[in-house]
Copies of this chain bind each other. A is one copy, B any other.
Amino acid sequence: MSYTVGRGTENAQPDVERPSEKLSLGVAARLSRYLQVLTQARKIGKDTISSQELADYTHVNSTQIRRDLSGFGKFGKRGVGYNVESLVTQIRKILRTSGQHNIAVFGAGHLGIAIANSDIFADHGFRVVAVFDVDAEKVGRRIGPLTVRHNAELRAVIEDEEIVVAVLAVPSQAAQTLADELVDAGVKIIFNYSDALLQVPPEVTVHTSSPAVDLLYALYFYLT
């Protein structure tokens, strides 16, 4: 993971409830993970979940989970656990991602198609509203409800659909040029699935996804 975000320099105002204070990097990351597990738990019909169960799935210590949550309110019932449904709502409120967000995928190769078809984003309020490619062969093809568009259209679509998130599933050589265009068109978050190192202005966040890096890391703990 790599983010271009500042740390929370929270100038704690003496509010008792302070829903307007910025979360620390760590808390935001953990809350997102709790949300993923809760979303899945809800799918399989779980009504309540304990901090210990959440800990088993997220590998975050159960005390820390209770601590993270209790900072925002008393969401749990002693002896019972947390209501899955209401905890999802609460965390979404805290993360301010209750809304719907539009994203665009670049590259209509295998990876791009897989991402566009995935419902992993949909579960969290993200909607893939456009897929782009530069290959004339691919432009015009249908991917689910979408039609692949040419990159030349990106600026217009990004403006019309109010897209702030772009997912890059293009060859490494094409990544930086595309990133420059996207930044220029007003995209604020770039998810980079190529292994290129992207240079962007400080107001834009680049997230480079590197399964190989995660694997190296997992393997180290297996080997030792």
Interface size on A, residues (CB 8 A): 67
Asked if residues B96 and A224 are in contact (CB atoms below 8 Å), the reply is yes
What CA separation (Å) do A96 and B222 show in the bound complex?
Answer: 11
Q: Scan A104-139; emit 1 where CB is below 8 A from any B CB, else 0.
A: 000001110111011011011010000000000000
Tell me which residues across on chain B come within 8 A of A36, comparing CB atoms.
195, 208, 210, 212-213
Asked if residues A123 and B212 are in contact (CB atoms below 8 Å), the reply is yes
Chain A residues proximal to chain B, CB less than 8 Å = 1-5, 22-23, 28-29, 32-33, 35-37, 39-41, 57-59, 95-97, 101, 103, 109-111, 113-115, 117-118, 120-121, 123-124, 126, 164-165, 167, 169, 188-189, 191, 195-197, 205, 207-224
Shortest Cβ distance from residue A89 to the other chain B in the assembled complex, whole angstroms? 14
7 additional A-B residue pairs with CB within 8 Å, beyond A4-B59, A95-B216, A209-B209: A35-B213, A96-B223, A109-B114, A120-B195, A124-B215, A188-B222, A207-B214
What CA separation (Å) do A7 and B5 show in the bound complex?
Answer: 27
Asked if residues A40 and B97 are in contact (CB atoms below 8 Å), the reply is no
Shortest Cβ distance from residue A209 to the other chain B in the assembled complex, whole angstroms? 7
| Residue in B closest to A116 when the chains form the complex, CB atoms | B110
Tell me which residues across on chain B come within 8 A of A114, comparing CB atoms.
109-111, 114, 169
Asked if residues B205 and A218 are in contact (CB atoms below 8 Å), the reply is yes
What CA separation (Å) do A212 and B101 show in the bound complex?
Answer: 12
Asked if residues B212 and A121 are in contact (CB atoms below 8 Å), the reply is yes
What CA separation (Å) do A48 and B41 show in the bound complex?
Answer: 48
Q: Can you name 16 A-B pairs with beta carbons within 8 Å? A: A2-B57, A3-B59, A29-B217, A32-B216, A36-B208, A39-B195, A109-B114, A120-B195, A120-B211, A121-B215, A164-B222, A165-B215, A188-B222, A207-B215, A209-B209, A209-B214
